[in-house]
């Protein structure tokens, strides 16, 4: 089946340099309507520049950005139906929560009554009922994050951009927020694009993601697809943990959970000694020092535990077709 719907956003050969540095180097990418898309990569890989070009804060040097099939090159940020949730939240400190949320609606010249009801709706959506009169400095970090989200969603943008939206939250709150964000996106049917350096976050929230390195896209796909079939050694190493085992002139990337640990010699297994044991409750992670390789094995803690300690001799093996063959 072919997809007849044109993409909501299309980047076409987009390049951007800042002085000598090439921030974005020929990126072409489609984002479909209604999808939760993640741009993933280490800091400085160009993911933020790409997002800022879509928001209109930077202009591409070459290439085009199409929104609903229309080149938006000449449109300043205030005319783009694209809203951004800033990493710092950027809440207006002189306005209370309700007026922050109403900010975009007022610019659209929406009638007062409609604004008031939309603000109430947004406060309920992010579970901040009754806090409309608070000042931003009277809110907790998690509450500020939700106000920022409500403010960006309120004017119903075609696409919501989230710039490292959970970077300032502690781990537990971050995990809760990820789930809430997914539920919210599904409920609203809005297109979300998140920029993050946290692969776990991207894997959890995104329908599809792009892994970036040094201004280029290394791979685009669903999290599962990228995890199971990384395009190259870089992607395999960046998304989750991986063992890169040489196989001819290529590498076989095998995930730690696809490796088997045995205390007795096995046909075709690599011999080594246990170098590290880390217990995570649900699983145990072993690092095995084998001949010229450091192998990581993850074992689910079900059934009888392995009586192993650091220094013990072990044999590590994997199914012949485990993981994926990647180019170096």
Partner 1 sequence: MRRTWAVILAPYLWLVLFFAVPMALIAKLSLSHTVLAMPPYAPRLDLSHGLDGISAFLGGLSGATYARLTQDRLYISAYLSSLGFAGVATAILLLIGYPIAYGMSRFGAGARQALLLGVILPFWTSFLIRIYAWIAILKPAGLLNQGLALLHLPPLQLLNTDAAVIIGLVYAYLPFMILPLYAVLEKQDESLIEAAQDLGCTPLTAFWRVTFPLSLPGLAAGALLCFIPMVGEFVIPDLLGGSKTLMLGRTIWTEFFADRDWPAASAVALALLATLIVPIALFQRQQAKVLS
Distances (CA, A) of 271 to 31, 141, 218, 242: 46, 50, 34, 18
The total of other beta-carbon atoms located within 10 Å of residue 141's CB is 12
Instruction: Kindly state whether residue 144 participates in binding partner 1, applying the rule CB under 8 A.
Output: no
**To which H or E segment does residue 249 belong?**
none
The total of other beta-carbon atoms located within 10 Å of residue 245's CB is 18
Footprint on residues 66-85 left by partner 1 (CB under 8 A): 76-78, 82-84
Instruction: Kindly state whether residue 18 participates in binding partner 1, applying the rule CB under 8 A.
Output: no
All residues at 6 or more sequence positions from 266 whose CB lies less than 8 Å from its CB, including other chains: 315, 317
Stretch that binds partner 1, among 104-112, 198-206, 231-239, 296-304 (CB under 8 A): 104-112
Instruction: Kindly state whether residue 108 participates in binding partner 1, applying the rule CB under 8 A.
Output: yes
Q: Which position among 41, 46, 60, 104 is part of the footprint of partner 1 (CB under 8 A)?
A: 104
Instruction: Kindly state whether residue 138 participates in binding partner 1, applying the rule CB under 8 A.
Output: no
Instruction: Kindly state whether residue 151 participates in binding partner 1, applying the rule CB under 8 A.
Output: yes
Burial of 156: CB neighbours in 10 Å, binned 0-12, 13-18, 19+? middle
Instruction: Kindly state whether residue 110 participates in binding partner 1, applying the rule CB under 8 A.
Output: no
Instruction: Kindly state whether residue 94 participates in binding partner 1, applying the rule CB under 8 A.
Output: yes
Footprint on residues 114-133 left by partner 1 (CB under 8 A): none
Q: What does the alpha-carbon distance between residue 46 and residue 103 come to, in Å, rounded to a whole number? A: 29
Pair 206, 165: CB distance under 8 Å: no
Write down the least CB distance from residue 74 to partner 1, Å: 15
Applying CB under 8 A, which residues contact partner 1? 55-57, 76-78, 82-84, 86, 88, 90, 92-94, 103-104, 107-108, 151-152, 155
């Amino acid at each position: 089946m072919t997809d007849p719907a044109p993409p909501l956003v299309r980047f076409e050969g987009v390049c951007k340099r800042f002085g000598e540095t090439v921030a974005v180097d020929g990126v072409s990418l489609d984002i479909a309507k209604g999808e939760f898309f993640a741009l993933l990569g280490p800091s400085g890989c160009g993911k933020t520049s790409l997002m800022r070009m879509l928001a209109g804060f930077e202009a591409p040097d070459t290439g085009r950005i199409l929104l609903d099939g229309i080149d938006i090159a000449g449109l300043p940020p205030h005319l783009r139906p694209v809203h951004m949730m800033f990493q710092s939240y950027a809440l207006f400190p002189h306005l209370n929560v309700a007026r922050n949320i109403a900010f975009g609606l007022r610019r659209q010249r929406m009638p007062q009554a409609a604004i008031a009801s939309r603000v109430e709706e947004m406060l309920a959506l992010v579970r901040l009922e009754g806090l409309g009169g608070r000042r931003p400095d009277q809110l907790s970090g998690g509450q500020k994050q939700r106000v920022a989200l409500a403010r960006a969603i309120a004017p119903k943008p075609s696409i919501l951009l989230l710039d490292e939206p959970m970077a300032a939250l502690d781990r537990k709150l971050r995990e809760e927020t990820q789930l809430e964000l997914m539920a919210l996106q599904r409920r609203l049917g809005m297109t979300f694009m998140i920029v993050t350096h946290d692969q776990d976050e991207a894997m959890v929230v995104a329908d599809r993601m792009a892994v970036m390195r040094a201004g280029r896209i290394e791979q685009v796909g669903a999290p599962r697809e990228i995890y199971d079939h990384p395009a190259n050694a870089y992607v395999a190493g960046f998304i989750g943990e991986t063992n890169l085992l040489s196989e001819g002139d290529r590498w076989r990337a095998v995930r730690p959970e696809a490796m088997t640990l045995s205390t007795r010699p096995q046909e075709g297994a690599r011999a080594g000694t246990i170098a590290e044991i880390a217990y995570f409750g649900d699983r145990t992670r072993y690092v095995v020092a084998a001949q010229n390789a450091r192998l990581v094995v993850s074992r689910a803690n079900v059934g009888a535990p392995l009586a192993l300690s650091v220094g013990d001799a072990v044999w590590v093996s994997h199914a012949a077709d485990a993981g994926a063959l990647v180019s170096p």
